[in-house]
Amino acid sequence: MRIALITETWPPEINGVANTLRHWAGGLLERGHRIQLTRPSQGGQDRSRPEAGGLEECLVPGLPIPGYRGLRFGLPVARALHRQWARFRPTIVYIATEGPLGAAALRVARRLGIPAITGFHTRFDFYSRHYRLGWLEPVIRAVLRRFHNRSSSTLVPTRELALKLGQQGFNNAKVISRGVNTQLFGPHRRDLELRREWGVDAETPVVLYVGRLAPEKNIALAVSTYRHMQTHAPSLRFVLVGHGPHEMALRRDHPDLIFAGPRVGEDLARHYASSDIFLFPSISETFGNVVLEAMASGLAVVGFDYAAGREHIESGINGLLAPLGEETAFYAQAAHIASDSALLERIRPAARHTAETLDWSHITDQLEALLYEYALPDGSPSPEEDCHATA
């Protein structure tokens, strides 16, 4: 297949969408497919690169996303997309983000008769609640519904989300789950020197949070839960990996917390594996890739019963779950694991065992089969041209 991939986020940007797309693209390229990636320029020295290994990058103009440092949304460059696809002749289009660039891509694909599949990666409708814009939630959902219903299919990461979207009028949602790199993330990355930097010995439990330090991630619940855990296990330490708009206030109000900043690759894996308990307080995720990364690293995850937690955690066996949104139950589960070392030691290897069944290659098999279901019959490619788009 010749796959046109449209996204407004891509590595080295750090978020679950960029991480998922990187793994999907890598798996499809390994299977011999070609991908034309169209994304906003990430600024500075970012340049489109010539095709290598089946991947061609096309950069389009973009503007910063308010409140999301380092992220940009792409402009609706319909004419540039039309020129690119007249040359590349995609057999299918995958649109990962619903911004102006994604909307333009969907219009061009429909005009050219190219099948287009969209991805529901982020709960933008739900995020409005956390920025005092809750009254906009039904409006945002209606915009998202119209966008996705104009595509051939919408990919979602869980059966739960597919059912919920179906009840809200979204048509033809298909489930493609998420995987985890168990060679990168694993207990073998545990680093006693890093733990010493945190001021803990080999036995002191460390609580970890990985993600944006932002209201939509329910970061306030993570901190208050840690304080509740301390009443049961005073020696606990709390490490936060990531950055966001609440970071300065958190540093000011909680100077005893360990702020590690954003981490990637083996460095991120080392932070996971050197911890013991993972708090996942968010209630706004479509999935939550960090849950699988924590499980692969052998951590006991405390989360809510939805998204990745509902898909892969059996509470009390390989993690602990609280009913969605019930903060008192979340506190109780976290306190339970903090005060019961035997339970912690049972859950950690069970979490790793579960993660070992979720390799990305199996996910790519499912994705490839679904793309083939919708893709046009293949044809010969057109001559290559320069790929630096303008509006």
Residue 281: CATH number of its domain: 3.40.50.2000
CA distance 39 to 73: 9
Does 196 share its domain with 121? no
Within a domain: residue 86?
yes
Q: Is the pTM of this model over 0.75?
A: yes
Does 82 share its domain with 101? yes
Within a domain: residue 262?
yes
Mean pLDDT, the chain, rounded, equals: 90
Does 173 share its domain with 264? no
Q: What is the pLDDT of residue 391?
A: 46
Q: What is the pLDDT of residue 380?
A: 42
Within a domain: residue 275?
yes
Quote the domain boundaries for residue 226.
Answer: 187-355
Enumerate long-range contacts of 53-62, CB under 8 Å, 24 or more apart: 53/29, 54/29, 55/25, 55/29, 56/88, 56/387, 57/387, 58/84, 58/387, 58/388, 58/389, 59/387, 59/388, 59/389, 60/101, 60/389, 60/390, 60/391, 61/389, 61/390, 61/391, 62/8, 62/101
Q: What is the pLDDT of residue 388?
A: 53
Does 253 share its domain with 218? yes
Does 131 share its domain with 245? no
Does 30 share its domain with 157? yes
Q: What is the pLDDT of residue 133?
A: 56
Within a domain: residue 384?
no
Within a domain: residue 391?
no
Does 10 share its domain with 101? yes
Does 85 share its domain with 8? yes
Question: Domain total for the chain?
Answer: 2
Within a domain: residue 258?
yes
CA distance 156 to 307: 10
Within a domain: residue 386?
no
Does 77 share its domain with 165? yes
Where the chain has pLDDT below 70, the residues are 44-51, 66-71, 123-136, 378-391
Within a domain: residue 388?
no
Q: What is the pLDDT of residue 139?
A: 83
Does 114 share its domain with 171? yes
Q: What is the pLDDT of residue 44?
A: 66
CA distance 272 to 336: 21
Does 52 share its domain with 149? yes
Looking up tokens 């911004």, which residue turns up? 99
Hey, is 256 helix, strand or coil? Answer: coil
Kindly report the backbone phi and psi dihedral angles of residue 229, in degrees, each rounded to the nearest multiple of 5, phi listed first.
Answer: -60, -35
Identify whether the C-beta of residue 265 lies closer than 8 Å to the C-beta of residue 243.
no
Does 290 share its domain with 146? no
